[in-house]
Structure 1
Amino acid sequence: MSDTILKCTTRHVRIFTAVVENNDLILDNGHLTLDIDPDNEFSWSDQSIKKVQDYFRELVELQADNELSDYTLRKIGSLLEDFIRKLLKDGELSYNPNSRVMNYSMGLPRTQELL
């Protein structure tokens, strides 16, 4: 295992081999911490957060027999990004109108006027 924190950072997902203590990341190779949408670009329901967390657990379990590496974390992060995009496309997630920046990073909202 690594002596440094492994991490994956995508636009909407951050994964660390660490635990959070007093707002600090503390190395823990036996634990993965997931930070979903740190910029609050989306409006999340409890159900949509749970879906992402459940999918994260599923992806981690699928990798249980493999060595934890930067590549593995990036793969999990990329799959979570795709999953979030699917939630947005399916209408289970929406852009946060109070977000600091409205950049529609996963595409324009799907409205009747735009279809």
Structure 2
Amino acid sequence: MSYPNQPYGAPYGDRPPPGYGYPPPGPRNDGLRTTSIVALILNLVATVSCCNFLAIPGAIMAGLALGKVDSEPENAKSRLMWSWILFGSGFVVTIALFIVLGVSGAFDD
């Protein structure tokens, strides 16, 4: 009888000890990790360069999502979604503010 995990050159019938070889691959969350990093960086840049006040909680949510990628991927996806929502909402508010100020004549000297 031959065993499927019998190492090359082992005497016939000898089984390797438990844990022999590489462990089976676990779930990969590289895409979620990458998206979390991108969201974190963009929220931080938006906070500094555009005075996007909603990007601060967006950056916090992206950082929390990055911390939960391996242990709780579903929780990380939810936090990442809220990070992007806050990022986009901040830009919508900023654009609306510029439009309102432009229509009211605040930029006219």
Q: Same fold (TM over 0.5)?
A: no
Query: TM-score under structure 2 normalisation?
Result: 0.38
Q: Which structure carries more helix by proportion?
A: 2
Q: Which structure carries more strand by proportion?
A: 1
Query: TM-score under structure 1 normalisation?
Result: 0.37
**Greater RCO (CA < 8 Å, at least 6 residues apart):** 1
